[in-house]
Structure 1
Amino acid sequence: MHQHTLTRVIILGLLAILGIVGMQTYWVATTWNLNDTEFSQKAKLALYGVARQLAAENNSDLPSRDIVRQRSSNYFIVNIESEIDALRLEILMQQELVRLSLDLPFEYAIFDCTTDQMAYGGYCQASTEPEDPVLAERTSYLAPDENLLYYFGIKFPTRTGYLWEKMQLVVFLSLILMLTVAFFGYSVVVMLRQRRLATMQKDFIDNMTHEFKTPLSTIRIAAGVFLRDERVAADGRLSRYAQLIHQQYERLNEQVEKVLQIARIEQGNFEIKKESTDLHRIMPDLLGSARVRAEERSGTLEVDLPGHPLPLLADPLHLSNILHNLLDNAIKYSGEKPRIRVRGELRGQALHLSISDSGPGIAPEHQERLFEKFYRIPTGDVHDVKGFGLGLFYVAQICRAHGWTIRVESSLGQGATFRLQLPLLPIVQVVTT
Structure 2
Amino acid sequence: MKRTLPVIIALITISLLGIIYVQFKWIQNAALVKEEQLKENVYSILDEVGSQLVAPRPTQNALTVPLMPGMPNNDFYSHFSVTKRYTTFAIKEKLKKAFASRGLGNSPFEFSVFTNVAGNLFANYHDLETDNFQNLLKDSVNNLTFRYALIPPAERMWDAFSADEVMVLILPNYKSFVLRSIGWMIAAAIFFTLTIIAAFFLTVNSALRQKKLSEIKGDFINNMTHEFKTPLATISLAVDALRNERVLQDRQKLEYFSGIIKEENRRMNKQVETILQAAQLDKQEVQLNRKTLHAHDLLASAIDNLRLQLEQKGGVLDTHFQATRDLVSADEVHFVNLLSNILDNAVKYSRENLRLRVSTRNTGKMIRIVIEDNGIGMSRETIGRIFEKFYRAHTGNLHNVKGFGLGMSYVKSMVDAHNGKIRVDSTLGKGSTFILDFPLAS
Q: Normalized against structure 2, the TM-score is what?
A: 0.50
Aligned to 2:409: 393
Aligned to 1:253: 269
1:180 and 2:194 aligned: yes
Shift in alpha-carbon separation, 1:352–1:223, aligned structure 2, 3 A? farther
> Highest Rg: 1 or 2?
2
Deviation, structure 1 residue 387: 2.7
Aligned to 1:286: 302
Deviation, structure 1 residue 418: 1.3
Mapping for residues 401-420 of structure 1, pairs under 5 Å? 401-420=417-436
Q: Which amino acid in 1 is paired with 2:389?
A: K
Aligned to 1:22: none
1:272 and 2:264 aligned: no
Aligned to 1:303: 319
Shift in alpha-carbon separation, 1:348–1:184, aligned structure 2, 3 A? closer
Contact residue 295 and residue 326 of structure 2 kept, 8 A: yes
Deviation, structure 1 residue 258: 2.6
Mapping for residues 54-65 of structure 1, pairs under 5 Å? none
Shift in alpha-carbon separation, 1:321–1:204, aligned structure 2, 3 A? same
Deviations 1:348-392 (A, max 9, x none): 664332222221222345434322333333445555423332211
Deviation, structure 1 residue 416: 1.1
Aligned to 1:43: 43
SS in structure 2 at match of 1:269: coil
Report sequence identity in percent: 27
Aligned to 1:211: none
Provide the C-alpha distance between the structure 1 equivalents of 2:187 and 2:286, rounded to a whole number of angstroms. 50
Deviations 1:302-345 (A, max 9, x none): 33336999433210110111011011001001124422222233
Contact residue 418 and residue 438 of structure 2 kept, 8 A: no
1:376 and 2:392 aligned: yes
Q: Which amino acid in 1 is paired with 2:196?
A: A
Provide the C-alpha distance between the structure 2 equivalents of 1:398 and 1:284, rounded to a whole number of angstroms. 18
Equivalent position to 2:369, from 345, 350, 353: 353
Equivalent position to 1:335, from 351, 359, 382: 351
Shift in alpha-carbon separation, 1:339–1:264, aligned structure 2, 3 A? same
Q: Which amino acid in 2 is paired with 1:369?
A: R
Aligned to 1:323: 339
Deviations 1:78-132 (A, max 9, x none): xxxxxxxxxxxxxxxxxxxxx97689xxxxxxxxxxxxxxxxxxxxxxxxxxxxx
Shift in alpha-carbon separation, 1:174–1:286, aligned structure 2, 3 A? closer
Shift in alpha-carbon separation, 1:316–1:225, aligned structure 2, 3 A? farther
Deviation, structure 1 residue 395: 1.0
Provide the C-alpha distance between the structure 1 equivalents of 2:237 and 2:324, rounded to a whole number of angstroms. 41
Deviation, structure 1 residue 224: 12
Deviation, structure 1 residue 254: 2.8
Deviation, structure 1 residue 399: 1.1
Contact residue 330 and residue 418 of structure 2 kept, 8 A: yes
Q: Which amino acid in 2 is paired with 1:377?
A: A
Aligned to 2:21: none
Deviations 1:130-162 (A, max 9, x none): xxxxxxxxxxxxxxxxxxxxxxxxxxxxxxxxx
Range 267-276 or range 176-185, more displaced: 176-185
Deviation, structure 1 residue 261: 2.0
Deviation, structure 1 residue 420: 2.2
Contact residue 367 and residue 408 of structure 1 kept, 8 A: yes
Deviations 1:184-218 (A, max 9, x none): 23445566778899999999999xxxxxxxxxxx9
Deviation, structure 1 residue 166: 11
Deviations 1:151-186 (A, max 9, x none): xxxxxxxxxxxx999989986776554332222234
Shift in alpha-carbon separation, 1:226–1:403, aligned structure 2, 3 A? farther
Provide the C-alpha distance between the structure 2 equivalents of 1:175 and 1:388, rounded to a whole number of angstroms. 49
Range 42-51 or range 271-280, more displaced: 42-51
Provide the C-alpha distance between the structure 1 equivalents of 2:311 and 2:258, rounded to a whole number of angstroms. 23
Contact residue 293 and residue 327 of structure 2 kept, 8 A: yes
SS in structure 2 at match of 1:340: strand
Shift in alpha-carbon separation, 1:416–1:195, aligned structure 2, 3 A? closer
Contact residue 223 and residue 246 of structure 1 kept, 8 A: no
Shift in alpha-carbon separation, 1:320–1:259, aligned structure 2, 3 A? same
Provide the C-alpha distance between the structure 2 equivalents of 1:205 and 1:376, rounded to a whole number of angstroms. 9
Shift in alpha-carbon separation, 1:184–1:423, aligned structure 2, 3 A? closer
Contact residue 311 and residue 425 of structure 1 kept, 8 A: yes
Q: Normalized against structure 1, the TM-score is what?
A: 0.51
Contact residue 280 and residue 309 of structure 1 kept, 8 A: no
SS in structure 2 at match of 1:409: strand
SS in structure 2 at match of 1:417: strand
